[in-house]
Amino acid sequence: MGYMLFTRRIIRPQPQLVGRGRVRLCAAFCCLVSVSTNAQTWEVFDNVTAGFPSNNVSDIVEDSDGTIWAGTGFGLCRYDGSSWSVLQSDNSGLPGNSVKCLAVDSTNRLWVGTLLNGIGIYDGTSWDYLNTDNSPLPDNEINCITIDHRGWAWIGTYLGVACYTGSDWRLYNSSDTSYGGLMMHGNVIEDIGVREDGLVAICTQNGGFHYLTDTSIFFLTTFDNQFPDNTQNSVAFDNVNDERWLATPSQGLLRQGGAWENGPWFQYTTSNSMIPSNSVTCVVVDDLGRVWLGTLIAGIGVRDPNGSFISYNTINSGLPNNSIESILLAGDGSIWVATGFGGAARLTFQGSIKEFTQADFDLFPNPCDGLVNIRVKEEGSDWSWSISDSQGRSLLNGSAHHTDQQVELTGLSSGIYVMNVTVGSGRMTRKFQIFH
């Protein structure tokens, strides 16, 4: 496991203000679902099975009524638990069809961030709007929206952060006009997280990682602090273990423990962990401290608090596409996944997410030559195995009925591989080396 310490840059210094706007709605459609698996069930919702207007799903959220909302490249989709309806700009008050991000506020209003048309806010009956014409919003391209514990809306754009408190606006950017004199190191905002004590974490594109408080701003960059990546795609606060997690586009998964000002950072990559890819697109933490991460090309990884990883991809599960845009931990224990090219998918377990288990097995010898042995710890169960390379491509697979299985490594050259074992509802992966 990589371990890193970085020096810090903190800037302390004063304010600014202003307004907002409004309008209305409509909807329709029908639904079919597809299923797959054993102790887990995957359902896929796309343009064939659910009438999605696009299989490019950018974000997915759940409101307080349990309704699922999926933003796509050509409209907004609503799931009431039995059927889907599609909202577009020609049949509703949606301000633009290219939806980039979604959020739900404390009054159960849906905030819809668009590619070119600012924000639409839908209360179930009518629409309000925020854009550069009717508000201080700095840009109409909305990359992310986060509603914090106070009901404040934190909006990430290509021209900085806009925070709307409900009564005034605070604009943060890299110029000397930034709110309170708190100048950022970059303006293109990818994600924003807010902790309940008010600490704001800001992910940027090529501008480093930022922490923001009422009186200071702190940033980490590759140049100033040897931070692994100047771009971060997503941030998650782990309230169980008091840690922060970052998804990066090329440097894997980053984790910070201890105090935010000077706590140590750890880096997880394909070379020092079982993370499925170094290109991580999103990260969320469940209430048991498990870290769920989406990747650009290798599906989903799940890190258990004990340090082990498992993965879901198009080869070993019912996931329809390996390019992951967003992951939602729904209130009923299911996992919703927004994919770049395969629509949305829902993963449900036999009981709930809390009953999700891991397979326990030994793999020997390691390194090995032409044969490797798998020994599972759970007797009397049918189980399956598969071998994949570092890119997640499945190379060999099979099933067994006994606790021990010997596998011939036919046609595999020297190198590092991954053994995936599934026993009932439990899954686990281990790396091993073939040396000829």
Whether the pLDDT of residue 431 is over 90: the answer is no
Cα(291)–Cα(296) distance, rounded to whole angstroms?
17
Which of 109-118, 304-313, 327-336 bottoms out in mean pLDDT, i.e. has the lowest? Answer: 304-313
Q: Do 51 and 150 sit in the same domain of this protein?
A: yes
Of the listed ranges 115-129, 132-146, 196-210, 421-435, the least confidently predicted one is: 421-435
Distances (CA, A) of 40 to 159, 317, 329, 402, 427: 42, 9, 15, 22, 11
- Do residues 208 and 247 lie in contact, with contact meaning Cβ atoms separated by under 8 Å? no
Amino acid, single-letter form, for residue 371: L
Q: What is the pLDDT of residue 3?
A: 41
Percent of the chain having pLDDT more than 90? 68
Give residue 82's pLDDT.
94
Q: Write out the two tokens for 338.
A: 């927004």
Whether residues 130 and 158 fall in one domain: yes
- Per-residue pLDDT at 305: 85
pTM, two decimals, is 0.79
Type and span of the H or E element at 429: strand 426-434
**pLDDT averaged over the chain?**
87
Question: For residues 395 and 349, what is the distance between their CA atoms, to the nearest angstrom?
Answer: 27
- Confidence class for position 34, pLDDT limits 50, 70, 90: very low
Q: β-strand 426-434 against 415-423: which pairing, if any? A: antiparallel
Kindly indicate the confidence band of residue 425, based on its pLDDT and cuts at 50, 70 and 90: low
Q: What pLDDT, on the 0 to 100 scale, is given for residue 37?
A: 43
Asked whether 270 and 253 are in contact (CB, 8 A), the reply is: no
Please report the pLDDT score of residue 278 as a whole number.
Answer: 96
Name 402's Cβ contacts closer than 8 Å, sequence gap at least 6: none
Compute the radius of gyration of the chain from its Cα atoms: 23
| 314 and 367 housed in the same domain | no
Q: With b meaning 16 or more CB within 10 Å and e meaning fewer, what string describes 165-198?
A: eeeebbbbbeeeebbbebbbbbbbbbbbbbbeee
CATH assignment at residue 269: 2.130.10.10
What gap in Å lies between CA 411 and CA 396, rounded to an integer?
Answer: 10
Q: Domains in the chain: how many in total?
A: 2
Q: What pLDDT sits at residue 403?
A: 87
* Whether residue 370 sits in one domain with residue 289: no
Residue 337 has what pLDDT?
98
Looking at residue 83, its pLDDT comes to 96
Q: What is the pLDDT of residues 148-193, one digit of tens each?
A: 999 999 999 999 999 999 999 999 999 999 999 999 999 999 999 9
CATH number at residue 381: 2.60.40.1220
Under 8 Å between Cβ of 146 and 161: no
Indicate whether 203 and 336 sit together in one domain: yes
Give the pLDDT confidence score for residue 49 in this predicted structure: 96
- 219-230 CB burial, b ≥16 within 10 A, e <16: bbbeeebebbbb
DSSP of 71-100: EETTEEEEE-SS-EEEE-TTTS--S-S-EE
Looking at 355, 382, 399, which one is the last position of a domain?
A: 355
Pick from 355, 376, 397: which residue ends a domain? 355
Whether 394 and 316 map to the same domain: the answer is no
| CA torsion through residues 158, 150, 197, 15, sign | positive
4-13, 136-145, 226-235, 240-249: least confidently modelled range = 4-13
DSSP string, 146-181: EE-TTSPEEEEETTEEEEE-SS-EEEE-SSTTSGGG
329 and 368: one domain?
A: no
Residue 1 has pLDDT above 60, yes or no: no
Q: Are residues 321 and 419 in the same domain?
A: no
Check whether residue 351 and residue 381 sit in a common domain: no
pLDDT for res 391: 60
DSSP per position, 252-314 = -EEEE-S-TTT--EEEE-TTTS--S-S-EEEEEE-TTS-EEEEESSS-EEEE-TTS-EEEE-T
Q: Read off the pLDDT of each residue in 357-365 and give the average, rounded to a whole number.
A: 77
When pLDDT is averaged across residues 110-129 and rounded to a whole number, the result is 98
Q: Are residues 37 and 59 in the same domain?
A: yes
Share of the chain above pLDDT 70, in %: 88
Domain boundary among the residues 310, 336, 355 is at 355
What is the rounded CA–CA span in Å between residue 365 and residue 135?
A: 64
Structural domain including 394 reads 361-434
Whether residue 374 sits in one domain with residue 312: no
d(CA 280, CA 324): 9
Per-residue confidence (pLDDT) for residue 351, from 0 to 100: 56
Helices then strands (H, E): number in the chain?
1, 38
Clarify whether residues 351 and 367 are in a common domain. Answer: no
3-state secondary structure (DSSP) of residue 192: strand
- First-to-last C-alpha distance (Å) of the chain: 27
Q: In this predicted model, what pLDDT tens digit does every residue of 257-268 receive, in sequence order?
A: 999 999 999 999
